[in-house]
Amino acid sequence: MKIGPLENKTTLAPAGTARKPAAGDAATASSSPEPSAKVELSAAASVIASGLADGSFDAQKVERLTRAIRDGHYQIDAQAIADRLLGNAHDLLVRDTK
């Protein structure tokens, strides 16, 4: 990939500028644009999103972890992290072969 000097870069129109519709362009003249894409969440994403929707978290747990890290008492379980990483990689590979 070749990157040229900054002087050759095109400039974008300012954010407040309205785009002028082309002659005979009825789609841009309508009051409500048609959606260009349909997005659906997976079941797992829906579960995660529903759990985060209330915006709550355990402030006391966050404080305990912060204090443990600051004081140097937080222990990292490298074996558990490795097991999870391998499990996630396995799940991704199995899902791609189906």
pTM above 0.75, yes or no: no
Token pair belonging to 54: 């209330």
Residues 6+ apart with CB under 8 A from 80: none
**For residue range 28-84, what is the model confidence (pLDDT) as tens digits?**
555 677 778 888 888 888 877 776 656 677 889 999 999 999 999 999 999 999 999
The half-sphere exposure of 94 on its side-chain side, counting CA atoms within 13 A, is 6
**For residue range 11-27, what is the model confidence (pLDDT) as tens digits?**
555 555 555 555 555 55
Instruction: Note whether 29 and 21 are within 8 A (CB).
Output: yes
Residues 6+ apart with CB under 8 A from 8: none
